[in-house]
Amino acid sequence: MSLIGMTGVEPDDSVVQRCRRVASETRSPTVSWSEVAAAWVMAAVGLAGLAAVCLVVTAVAQLW
């Protein structure tokens, strides 16, 4: 006999349905264009910051 099914009390079906309903009402699966644009801007800023750090490290290394 396996112990996998003996981890605790299983939730009632009404609890599961209520959790699913609340989860589906809070967030839509679609993404707006403003969210996509914000993600691209954050990615560009992150890459620019990484490039700046690399340039500074390279410049400091050449001074030594």
9-62 pLDDT per residue, tens:
555 566 666 666 655 556 667 889 999 999 999 999 999 999 999 999 999 999
Q: Tell me, what's the pLDDT at 45? A: 98
Q: Cα separation of 9 and 5, whole Å?
A: 10
Backbone φ and ψ of 16, nearest 5°: -65, -45
Token pair of 58 as six digits: 């390279």
Backbone φ and ψ of 32, nearest 5°: -80, 160
Residue 63 has pLDDT above 70, yes or no: yes
Where residue 5 falls among pLDDT bands split at 50, 70, 90? Answer: low
Instruction: Give the amino acid at 36.
Output: V
Token pair of 22 as six digits: 């609340």
